[in-house]
């Protein structure tokens, strides 16, 4: 089994309880704020074609769909279990006419070049086996002048490191998630980072990138 197939299989299993963990009271409120700020940062006009890379259970899809009345949002993921949840969420929120889900490995995407007006990816670049490949593909499928918004986790400053390191180690051990990856550095090789925000002393960051 390739490392990407292993990721897909792990998330297929997690798809049953992913939303339960995501909605855990202590983290759900700040997460909601970061996620809403990410959707705002997309700066949508209403007719764009938007891709949510590694959409998971499709948390971001309804909020984006409500802002692209004359456009479309596609949620892509390597895990069919996660995509099933995403489809259900879009239907339950009544936005399934503007939402489509596609099984796609972002490290070798099947989408054509210069295709999407906007891209968003939340908590995914720290989970893909090869983030450099994924970022290169994001750059390829985004239109010239297009915008990509990235929300993810990184190394914080100061005393927050005391909380960060135990979290990072358990995420790596149990979730194969690399919270300490230098995603910003990797993005800078392909995109112009035009805006950045930090939450929880840098443990979570939001980056707006332009092609």
Ligand X SMILES: C[S@@+](CC[C@H](N)C(=O)[O-])C[C@H]1O[C@@H](n2cnc3c(N)ncnc32)[C@H](O)[C@@H]1O
- Return the number of the residue (6 or 192) whose C-beta is nearest ligand X: 6
Q: Edge-to-edge strands of the sheet including 116-122?
A: 99-103, 72-77, 49-53, 116-122, 142-153, 204-210, 192-199
- Spatial contact of 160 and 180, defined as CB atoms under 8 Å apart: no
Q: Does residue 168 touch ligand X according to CB under 6 A? A: no
Tabulate helix, strand, coil % of the chain (nearest 5): 45, 25, 30
Q: Does residue 116 touch ligand X according to CB under 6 A? A: no
- Spatial contact of 149 and 124, defined as CB atoms under 8 Å apart: no
Phi/psi at 62 (5° precision): -60, -40
Q: Kindly state the DSSP code that residue 63 receives in the 8-state scheme.
A: H
Q: Does residue 4 touch ligand X according to CB under 6 A? A: yes
Site size toward ligand X (CB under 6 A) is 19
Q: How far is the CB of 54 from ligand X (least distance, A)?
A: 3
- Return the number of the residue (55 or 144) whose C-beta is nearest ligand X: 55
- Return the number of the residue (55 or 101) whose C-beta is nearest ligand X: 55
- For residues 36 to 75, the per-residue mask of contacts with ligand X, x marking binding by CB under 6 A and - elsewhere, is ------------------xxx--x----------------
3-class secondary structure, 56: coil
Choice from 44, 61, 106, 208 touching ligand X (CB under 6 A):
106
- Return the number of the residue (54 or 62) whose C-beta is nearest ligand X: 54
Choice from 48, 63, 87, 107 touching ligand X (CB under 6 A):
107
CA angle 119, 202, 133 (to 5 degrees): 40
Q: Does residue 105 touch ligand X according to CB under 6 A? A: yes
Please name which of 211, 181, 179, 182 lies closest in space to residue 194, comparing C-alpha atoms.
211
Q: Does residue 124 touch ligand X according to CB under 6 A? A: yes
Please name which of 189, 186, 177, 184 lies closest in space to residue 208, comparing C-alpha atoms.
184
Q: Does residue 101 touch ligand X according to CB under 6 A? A: no
Q: Does residue 11 touch ligand X according to CB under 6 A? A: yes
What is the contact surface with ligand X in residues (CB under 6 A)?
Answer: 4, 7, 11, 54-56, 59, 77-79, 82, 105-107, 122-124, 127-128
């Amino acid at each position: 089994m390739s490392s990407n197939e292993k990721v897909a299989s792990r998330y297929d299993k997690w798809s049953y309880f992913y939303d339960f963990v995501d909605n855990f009271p202590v983290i759900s409120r700040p997460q909601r704020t970061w996620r809403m700020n990410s959707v705002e940062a997309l700066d949508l006009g209403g007719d764009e074609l938007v891709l949510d890379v590694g959409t998971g259970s499709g948390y971001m899809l309804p909020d984006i769909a409500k802002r692209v009345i004359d456009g479309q949002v596609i949620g892509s993921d390597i895990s069919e279990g996660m995509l099933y949840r995403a489809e259900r969420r879009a239907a339950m929120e009544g936005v399934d006419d503007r939402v489509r889900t596609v099984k796609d490995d972002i490290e070798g995407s099947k989408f054509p070049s210069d295709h999407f007006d906007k891209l968003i990816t939340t908590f995914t670049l720290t989970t893909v086996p090869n983030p450099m490949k994924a970022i290169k593909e994001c750059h390829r499928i985004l239109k010239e002048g297009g915008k990509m918004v990235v929300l993810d986790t990184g190394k914080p400053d100061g005393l927050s490191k005391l909380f960060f390191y135990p979290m990072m180690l358990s995420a790596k051990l149990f979730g194969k998630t690399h919270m300490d990856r230098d995603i910003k550095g990797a993005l800078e090789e392909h995109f112009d980072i035009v805006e950045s925000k930090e939450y929880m002393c840098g443990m979570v960051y939001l980056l707006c990138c332009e092609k």
